[in-house]
Each structure stands twice: as structure tokens, then as C-alpha cells.
Amino acid sequence: MHELAREVLAGTEAWIVGGAVRDELLGRPVIDLDIATREPEQAARVYARQAGGAPFPLSERHGAWRVALEGQRTVDFTPLEHGIDADLLSRDFTMNAIAVPLEGGEPYDPCGGREDLELRAIRAVTDSIFEDDPLRLLRAVRLEDELGFHIAPLTEELIRRDAALADRPSGERTLAELNRLSARGYRRLAELGLLEALGGSLDERLERHDSPDYRLVCAFRQAVERLPISNDTKRYTRALLRAGTPERSMRSIHRFRLETEPWALDALAYLGAQELAPLVEEARANDAEPLVRGDELDLPPGPDVGRLLAEIEEERAVGTIRTREEALDLARRRALEIREDG
């Protein structure tokens, strides 16, 4: 990515800035490159043409462009309107306000970012960074969580001061940050007043299971659907919120799984009933192809067929029937009852 950018921008002022420089200094993999240059759109289009990527505007307001490459890599081109000093002073945290000339050379660090990297400190570049972009409130916590750093005391004061702004960014940007937080990160959001500003709260369920969707449900419950979550996450949310604790019987476990799979274990964690997990695992291990099909039940198509198939599968899960012959025998008896009732 770097070498091609040098070719595309040869002879023009351009700097590698932001997280790419930070991650390089920390020895972390660099998969996203951020380049400040005078003509970002033109640079992005030329780069995309040569790299076989897809260029698109990242921010019409700020004039930034992104090129999406294979392997989820990206190269961002941002406008360098007033020189590199103005660019760095407009950034969020000192560790992200370090620049390296694209053509090569020593890092330019007017804000003391390298020292803060050594101190493992997340420090605001200016007092107005959260007013300029409230998403930085969540980003500060996410970086603290991901990197194992600490938010500097004065920056923490700024976060508490501006916490009420946390609900202003778009749902898409907010969700992207939340999905990268661990349970510890959510605790930090709550401690700083950010989770309350977003309409969330925490209880003892948070640490019972480790997944981004689970943490979203724990933090926001029904309100999670105010965020632009996927349809799959909506189904996940409803499965957990509607689940009732099953009894310690295979029949109850079977019915519980019908309501919650493929997330039955997550639902048990949410309910605080993890001791029932071995029963769910046992039931899963016994899953098999259906013993009979609907067209073998000697009934006309309709809801009775579905109900009878469900009954057969439940009795099989409980262990009262085990073979195809036993399933067909049950089906004949139920079919006779249905016809007599009809």
C-alpha cells in the first residue's frame, strides 16, 4: 500500500498520518493507511485504478476519500488544506497526531504523541476535540480498551464534561465503536457517563458471555433496535429478551431451543442459567434428520401437518419415540384423532 502511494503521489506533499503511524510505532499490523495530501479525490481515483480497488467519498463535508482493497484493507486520502501542522492539531489524540513524510523521513510529532505512546496515555490534542466530533468520546474508550492504555486525567475530565454529546453521532458510527468494545470497555463507558447518555445501563449479566451482540443486548435491551443493527442481530436480541428459564427436563429444553436456537447458550447466560448448558449441548448432539416427512402423515396440507411434525420431534427429543416406525405410529393415531375431531 505504501509503495504504490509513493508512486501515485510522487513530487507532491503527502504525509502518512493517524492510526497507521501509531500502529507502526507500536509494532502492530497496519491494515489501514491514512494519507494527507492536497488533492485527495484525484489521488484516490488514481490509486484505486492502479491497485484494482474501489474509490468512494468518505466524508463530503471534509473532502476525504477512501479506497477499499482486498482483505478488508483501506487507504484513506484526506485534504491537506492548511499544512501538516494544522492537520495534526485538528486530530483527536496526541498518539494519532504524528505524521511521517510519504517519501520517507523521521516522524513529525508537534503534540508529543510518541512520549504518550511510551506512557501508554490517551491525551486530547485540544480541549475542543469532543465538541468537534462527539464520536471521539467513544473512540477514547475503545482505544483504551483495545490498546490497554489509560485515558489521561485531564482528558477524562473533558469526557465527563462532554458526555451528554455521546448520542449525537450517527447510529452507524456509534455501532461500529460499540461492536469493538469488550465488557471492560462497556464498564468504562458507564463509569464515564457515556453509556447513560446513549440510553444504556449495565448489570451483572454483562460478563456471562463474550460476544459483541450479547454485550449490546445487555447494555441496551429493547433499545438496541434504535441502533442500525442487522436483521440477524434483531433476531438474536428478540430471542434473548423473550426467553424464559427452562426446567431441568429434556421436554422443557427442547421447547426452549425452539425459541432460542442457534443462540440457546447465549440465552441461558442472559438468564443466569448456565448450569443448564450441558442439557442443551446433549440435545444438540442428538439432533438428526427428521424421522418422517409431512407428506407421509396421511393428512391434507395445512397447519395440522406442522403441529404433528413438531410433536413428533418433541417426543423424539424426550425419548418416548426413537424410530421411524414409532413416529409413523404416533402420526397415525394423531391423524385419526384429528379426523374424528373434524
Q: What is the pLDDT of residue 249?
A: 93
pLDDT surpasses 90 at 132: yes
In this prediction, residues 246-267 reach a mean pLDDT of 95
pLDDT in tens, 280-314: 999 998 887 877 776 676 666 767 777 877 887 88
Comparing 177 with 10, the larger pLDDT belongs to: 177
Q: HSE-up of 335 (CA within 13 Å, CB side)? A: 18
In this prediction, residues 317-332 reach a mean pLDDT of 80
Q: What is the pLDDT of residue 317?
A: 82
Domain boundaries, the chain: 1-112, 120-202, 205-287, 294-341
Whether the ω angle into residue 262 lies within 30 degrees of 0, i.e. cis, is yes
71: DSSP letter: G
CA distance 221 to 243: 13
Comparing 342 with 120, the larger pLDDT belongs to: 120
In this prediction, residues 5-20 reach a mean pLDDT of 88
Q: What is the pLDDT of residue 298?
A: 66
pLDDT, the chain, mean: 90
CATH of domain 1-112: 3.30.460.10
CA distance 189 to 41: 36
Cell of 49: 485504478
Q: What is the pLDDT of residue 158?
A: 98
101: DSSP letter: E
Q: What is the pLDDT of residue 180?
A: 96
245: DSSP letter: P
Which long-range CB contacts under 8 A does 285-294 form with residues at least 24 apart? 286/317, 291/316, 291/321, 291/323, 291/324, 291/326, 291/327, 292/324, 292/327, 292/328, 292/331
CA distance 120 to 151: 9
Q: What is the pLDDT of residue 302?
A: 67
% of the chain at pLDDT higher than 70: 95
In this prediction, residues 205-210 reach a mean pLDDT of 96
pLDDT in tens, 49-91: 998 888 999 866 678 999 998 888 899 999 998 899 999 999 9
247 band by pLDDT with thresholds 50, 70 and 90: very high
- Assess contact for 117 and 150: CB atoms under 8 A: no
CA distance 119 to 55: 37
- Give backbone dihedrals phi and psi of 217, rounded to 5 degrees, phi first: -65, -45
The secondary structure of 251-287 as a DSSP string is HHHHHHHHHHTT-HHHHHHHHT-GGGHHHHHHHHHT-
pLDDT surpasses 90 at 36: yes
Q: What is the pLDDT of residue 309?
A: 78
Q: What is the pLDDT of residue 299?
A: 67
**E-strand stretches of the chain:** 14-17, 32-37, 54-59, 64-68, 74-79, 99-101, 121-122, 150-151
CA distance 123 to 121: 6
Kindly report the pTM of this predicted structure. 0.85
CA distance 36 to 108: 13
Q: What is the pLDDT of residue 60?
A: 64
Cell of 235: 433476531
% of the chain at pLDDT higher than 90: 66
| Torsion sign across C-alpha atoms 59, 63, 69, 71 | negative
pLDDT in tens, 142-165: 999 999 999 999 999 999 999 999
In this prediction, residues 103-118 reach a mean pLDDT of 94
pLDDT in tens, 214-236: 999 999 999 999 999 999 999 99
Q: What is the pLDDT of residue 313?
A: 83
- End-to-end CA, the chain: 72
Query: What topology does CATH give the domain 120-202?
Result: Hydrophobic Seed Protein (1.10.110)
Comparing 237 with 308, the larger pLDDT belongs to: 237
